[in-house]
Amino acid sequence: MTKLIHLLMVVLIMIFLAPAIFSQDDAKRDLYQKFTSAYNRGRDAKKLDPNLAQATNRDVYNQASKEAYQLAIEYVRRYPNDTDEIFSFQKKYIGDYEKWQKQMRKTQLAQYFSDKKYEEAFALGRQILIDEPNDLLTLYTLARGGLFVATGGNDNYNSATIQYAKSAVQLTEAGMALDGISKDETLGVLHYAIGVATLKTAPADALAALLQVATQPNTSRNDPQVFYLLAIAYQSVDYEKLSEAYNTQCRAEPKLLNTEPCKALADRLNGVIDRIADSYARAVALSGSLPQYANAKTEWINSLTDFYKYRHAGKADGLNDFIAGALARPMP
């Protein structure tokens, strides 16, 4: 009798639980079918237009992929203990989708800079770095974008550019690398960005950064503006102070000109002037006949002429040869 009662109790429990079990299976099946439907819509849009060149297909693919991702998240949340292929596939889909989304954001970041939407670019860059603070590609893209913005005369993003470029330099020096870009090329762009962004506020930092660009193997050193900015940095950091000191301490008292302190000061001043003249000469030589540098080239030649004359008894003899040989001689 006791065994019969026990058996009846088990049967009753199964009867009561059966609707819940079948309901769960139905819900599980329904959720998976919704995922499959969304997944297939996205797949079909991609088959129809592999590069998603058409806006309609791109919208269908993006919406379907997002829907499938959300359904996969829900499935994994509801049935975390499953070990079958369906569960594994949806786990993989979640990872692939998130990786794709991260890449899409970086593509969008580059597009914002291309479209000159700088506010949107830096805002998106900040969001990406919250999730991936050491993402070299994002830091590099922001630094390079900031470089172009700053060379165009917009200083609004200089502080951010400096921060991102310095972080990228640290990661690059530590061994991290960008696909398809050498370490020297990466550092050339990053130091160039630092040089431009710090020129007004920290010229000594700019001088150090621009010297890195000018003396290391990279294509950035072929940009005439690197050497123009280098000349400006030399003037801000060394020339102005030395020139003022020499004028007030030595020229103001002609009898002191031949003293050892004034001779030493004159040597230092002349050395800086030689570096400034060399930088201007390189900028002029690199600009060649490029139309975008036509106006700047005239100004560079005028500045170069003044410094050159100072070192050649007020004469410009040999200046053309000095310019012509600029790129062949080592930097002073």
What rounded mean pLDDT belongs to the chain?
91
Give the pLDDT mean for 80-105: 92
Torsions phi, psi for 153 (to 5 deg): 100, 5
Sign (positive/negative) of CA torsion 8, 13, 19, 22? negative
CATH number of 116-218: 1.25.40
Kindly tell me if the per-residue pLDDT of 2 is higher than 80: no
CA 143 to each of CA 24, 68, 107, 194: distance values in angstroms, whole numbers, following the listed order: 52, 35, 15, 8
At 16 the pLDDT is: 40
Name the nearest CA neighbour of 238 among 271, 214, 193, 199: 271
Name the nearest CA neighbour of 323 among 273, 288, 271: 288
Give the pLDDT mean for 213-231: 96
Per-residue pLDDT reduced to its tens digit, 238-266: 999 999 999 999 988 887 888 999 999 99
Give the pLDDT mean for 256-277: 94
